[in-house]
Amino acid sequence: ETGVTQSPTHLIKTRGQQVTLRCSSQSGHNTVSWYQQALGQGPQFIFQYYREEENGRGNFPPRFSGLQFPNYSSELNVNALELDDSALYLCASSPGTGVAGELFFGEGSRLTVL
């Protein structure tokens, strides 16, 4: 167990809707990253939050947005859902002082867009 918890575990939405995914980071970790893992592919970096500020972003459109709260938990919001947004969304936390790139992952939120 990593101590990173994500909710919900599964959800189904329709095209055009909006979704919010939530993540609680491991105790003591102040950095949260979000990844999208499409079926049969490796995780793709969406963005990272450090101390409530976006601290890096991958090649995702602005309809993917996020927040980090003072307790270091985080949300991923996706607006105007498209069919290709169907994927496993992974949250990962890190202490910010360890080896850069060493992440502790949650089990993910599986989003299906119909």
Partner 1 sequence: AQSVSQHNHHVILSEAASLELGCNYSYGGTVNLFWYVQYPGQHLQLLLKYFSGDPLVKGIKGFEAEFIKSKFSFNLRKPSVQWSDTAEYFCAVWSNNAGNMLTFGGGTRLMVKP
Residues near partner 1 (CB under 8 A) are 2, 4, 33, 35, 40-45, 48, 50, 55-58, 90, 92, 99-108
Structure tokens at 32: 């949260």
CB nearer partner 1, residue 81 or residue 92:
92
Q: In angstroms, what is the minimal distance from the CB of 16 to partner 1? A: 29
Q: Is the CB of 81 or the CB of 91 nearer to partner 1?
A: 91
32-50: b (≥16 Cβ within 10 Å) or e: bbbbbeeeeeebeebbbbb
- In the complex, the smallest distance separating the C-beta of residue 93 from partner 1, rounded to whole angstroms, is 12
Closer Cβ to partner 1, 69 or 105, answer by number = 105
Phi and psi torsions of 85, nearest 5°: -80, -5
With a CB cutoff of 8 Å and minimum separation 6, the contacts of 14 are 81, 113, 114
